[in-house]
Structure 1
Amino acid sequence: MRYKPFLLALTLGLGLAAPILPVHAAPPAAAVPSVSYTSADVMRLTEKVADYQIASLAAGLVPAHASGDTPDPKNWVQGALFIGLTALADHSDNPLYKQVVLQRGEANHWELGKRLYHADDHAIGQVYLWAARHGAGPDAIAPLRKSYDTILEFQPTVGLEHREYTDPRGVDCGQRWCWADALFMAPATWLELANQTGEAKYRDYAVKEFWATTDYLYDKTEHLYYRDSRFFERRGPHGERVFWSRGDGWVFAGLAHIIPLMPQGADRAHMETVFKEMAAKLISIQKADGYWSPSLLADPATSVPESSGTAFYVYGLAWGIKAGLLDAKSYEPAVRKGWAALVRSVHPDGKLGYVQSIGDQPDNVSYDDTQYYGVGAFLMAGTAVADLQLDRRKK
């Protein structure tokens, strides 16, 4: 079976044998759980969501509305989940999460996805780099290093203009980071490889391409990233610019991963400025219910809940406070509201709901919708919120 490597890990004793039952309607208001901000309770819920997802993977279950490549163990869809699992492994006393991560790498033979240049197929490399520091050793990054050396030898020369996916010529700019999501998938992999190997060439490439993408997609007035160039002139129903929540979520979480990997200097300082500009914008448009709208500038009174973008923002804001980049008094209220919203997204059995399906723009979403990458974002958010120890802070 494809997920056989997980079966041993599941015997470690978390009581995961209970059947996974679908939940098709949001709970009534009276049934919504109260929110605890103690680190222990935050971690308890975070592990519950992880355990549900691991059990689903072990059973070979694929979420509804998933893309055809979702079962691919080297794809970005699962790569994002496993990045979240590395964060959980760093915070949990339960050895299951580390074992699951290491087993995934071994089962993948530490290989990236099939597309040499495509950022989506590099996300899983962040998991291998974590594994290399947690027992797998240098063999875990040897294929990654070989692939990146090839890219450096034959660097792409295409522009960043993004064609429609229906264009028969294809989206050739995918050889570079021409869409917002790519800034989560690839740069941190390049930067961590530079740090582990001591080879500055990997960092130099990542920094060059990061700024090329940022100069192209970052709106310096709105302080948000367009998903790609197709959205420069698109407008919503009320004339608002279209900034996709999960697209900007990928960037915001990506910056939280990138910045600590950068040496002190002008580039890091500039990245911190972009991060702080985004953070200020994000708390100004958070909805009253704690979520962010799928289309960030849409009417908050009519937009639906969406948990994947919200989880990335909660993660980034919590990380920024902990790192000293964001003022706690100004930003903690948004973290609290966002975490409370995420708690309401979790089904009684641990399934995470309100995750918009795979796409490239804002779309509708329901309480029963889930996807692997949304869980990865939730695990990052949960561990970052636990780090803040909000119960010990004054509101």
Structure 2
Amino acid sequence: MKRALLLATTVVSLACMAPGLPAVAETPVAARPAARMPLSRAEILTLAERVADYQLATMAGGEFPQNAALGTSDMKGWVQGALFVGLTALADHSDKPHFRQVILSRGVANKWELGRRLYHADDHVIGQSYLWAYRQGAGPQAIAPLKASFDQILAHPSQDDLIHHEYSAPGGAGCDERWCWCDAIFMAPPTWLQLAQATGDRRYRDFAVKEFFATTDMLYDKEEHLYYRDSRFFERRDPNGRKVFWSRGDGWVLAGLARMIPYLPKGDADRTRMETIFREMSAKLKTIQKPDGFWSPSLLSDPKTALPESSGTAFYVFGLAWGAKAGLLDRATYEPTIRRGWAALVSAVHEDGKFGYVQPISDRPDAVGYDDTQYYGVGAFLLAATAVADLGLEPARVPTKGAKRRR
């Protein structure tokens, strides 16, 4: 069904986002779709399938050749790895078999191997799709290289200094082997925890928990209840004196927590601590959602002037919807936030299924437009869509004109 998008051009100030950005930019801002918002499970999954099918159809054509140097074309890297995490969620919900087959075929094409860097968290995320394939009956070969790599890490743990970020050290070599940037929380520890469940080997669980809390102790701001992207941002402030917290960066964290917590037993002390952080972040995010349903690229910027950004928003909608369904968050309190966020995400979907407003590859808040898309943004959207479908939202009731109010 065709969906009309009403576009308006607005002048948006970027001064509140991060130093070095242009002061003003023009970008189309999508209004709410004219059609009824998809809320039923069937409607949501139909939309998710359309977005996934568009992305899969364009992958073969190399939609983003300009980003090849950044790893977009890497079939084992984080850019596509995050997409495949979303595809596993869709495959679990959709009755269309080709999503399952795509995941299995990618694993075979990759020889079930991780990325090229043994310790680097970004090269671990693709392993989550291999673990999904293993659970679907792909056989022990689906996780054998993954297990061998993680066993090597356990046998020779990194001695890197966690405080130094990989890009800030001379030659860009600092902290390449520890989870010193917040994105890593989505990429690596869920993979380790899932391997622990698959094998029954607690060593993988213990490593994931230890390293996660080391990252948290360094990057989590206990006053703002948000994570800095990395150590370079501890003292940075935007032109208005606000701390700089990157939307997609904190999105990686909230989504990562949602994908870690279920793999720890209820009542476990480490799970309880993770749940506390999840609730604290969720409460903060609820208070800073923009009126249009998106979250700002720089989370503490002025919501009246900040750009819409869909990848961070999608991760938040996923996390909040999962938290409400799991009973970690009060549903009545968070459902309005989830509804607004879902409506914003739907407004970012082009008529052909392209998912827009995805900030390009970066490590900080930056400019973004309606036509910007990336694989990881689609992965985030698929996680959000399936979580909202599971939540079972009812259509909002519109009071009948002249109806008497019940007392």
With the length of structure 2 as denominator, give the TM-score of the two structures.
0.88
CA contact (8 A) 1:184 1:255 kept: yes
Residues in 1 aligned to 2:194 and 2:161: alpha-carbon distance in whole angstroms: 26
**Counterpart for residue 357 of structure 1:** 360
Residue 304 to residue 30, structure 1, CA distance change in 2 (3 Å): closer
- Aligned length in residues: 372
Is 1:45 matched with 2:39? no
CA contact (8 A) 2:308 2:357 kept: yes
> Could you tell which deviates more after superposition, 67-76 or 86-95?
67-76
CA contact (8 A) 2:318 2:388 kept: yes
Is 1:155 matched with 2:160? no
Q: Write the letter of the residue equivalent to 2:159.
A: T
The match for 1:275 among 259, 275, 278 is 278
**Counterpart for residue 384 of structure 1:** 387
Q: Write the letter of the residue equivalent to 1:104.
A: R
The offset of 1:158, in angstroms, is: 1.4
CA contact (8 A) 1:63 1:371 kept: no
Summarize the alignment of residues 193-232 of structure 1 with structure 2, pairs less than 5 Å apart.
193-232=195-234
Residues in 1 aligned to 2:42 and 2:152: alpha-carbon distance in whole angstroms: 45
Residues 247-294 of structure 1: CA deviation (Å, up to 9, x unaligned): 000000000000001123110001000000000000000000000000
Report the structure, 1 or 2, having the larger helix content. Answer: 1
The offset of 1:57, in angstroms, is: 1.3
CA contact (8 A) 1:314 1:381 kept: yes
Q: Write the letter of the residue equivalent to 2:257.
A: L
**Counterpart for residue 331 of structure 1:** 334
Summarize the alignment of residues 219-298 of structure 1 with structure 2, pairs less than 5 Å apart.
219-264=221-266, 265-298=268-301
The offset of 1:67, in angstroms, is: 4.8
Residue 28 to residue 389, structure 1, CA distance change in 2 (3 Å): closer
Residue 150 to residue 49, structure 1, CA distance change in 2 (3 Å): same
* Structure 1, gaps ≥5 residues long: 1-23
CA contact (8 A) 1:33 1:343 kept: no
Residues in 1 aligned to 2:161 and 2:202: alpha-carbon distance in whole angstroms: 24
Residues 296-315 of structure 1: CA deviation (Å, up to 9, x unaligned): 00011110000000000000
Is 1:301 matched with 2:301? no
CA contact (8 A) 2:32 2:344 kept: no
**SS where residue 175 of structure 1 aligns?**
coil
Residues in 1 aligned to 2:110 and 2:53: alpha-carbon distance in whole angstroms: 21
Residues 174-232 of structure 1: CA deviation (Å, up to 9, x unaligned): 20100000000000110010111010011111111011000110011100000001000
Residues in 2 aligned to 1:147 and 1:66: alpha-carbon distance in whole angstroms: 25
Residue 32 to residue 63, structure 1, CA distance change in 2 (3 Å): farther
**SS where residue 174 of structure 1 aligns?**
coil
Percent of paired sites with the same residue: 65
Residue 30 to residue 92, structure 1, CA distance change in 2 (3 Å): closer
Residue 337 to residue 392, structure 1, CA distance change in 2 (3 Å): closer
Summarize the alignment of residues 59-138 of structure 1 with structure 2, pairs less than 5 Å apart.
59-62=61-64, 67-138=69-140
The match for 2:38 among 36, 39, 42 is 36
Residues in 1 aligned to 2:297 and 2:370: alpha-carbon distance in whole angstroms: 14
CA contact (8 A) 1:191 1:206 kept: yes
Q: Write the letter of the residue equivalent to 1:80.
A: A
**SS where residue 245 of structure 2 aligns?**
coil
The match for 2:59 among 54, 57, 60 is 57
**SS where residue 106 of structure 1 aligns?**
helix
Residues 42-79 of structure 1: CA deviation (Å, up to 9, x unaligned): 11111110000010113333266565311110000000
With the length of structure 1 as denominator, give the TM-score of the two structures.
0.91
Q: Write the letter of the residue equivalent to 1:40.
A: A
**SS where residue 305 of structure 1 aligns?**
coil
CA contact (8 A) 1:65 1:357 kept: no
**SS where residue 123 of structure 1 aligns?**
coil
Residues 1-56 of structure 1: CA deviation (Å, up to 9, x unaligned): xxxxxxxxxxxxxxxxxxxxxxx984874865441311111111111100000101
> Could you tell which deviates more after superposition, 384-393 or 246-255?
384-393
Residues in 1 aligned to 2:328 and 2:32: alpha-carbon distance in whole angstroms: 38
Summarize the alignment of residues 308-327 of structure 1 with structure 2, pairs less than 5 Å apart.
308-327=311-330
The offset of 1:165, in angstroms, is: 2.5
CA contact (8 A) 1:39 1:386 kept: yes
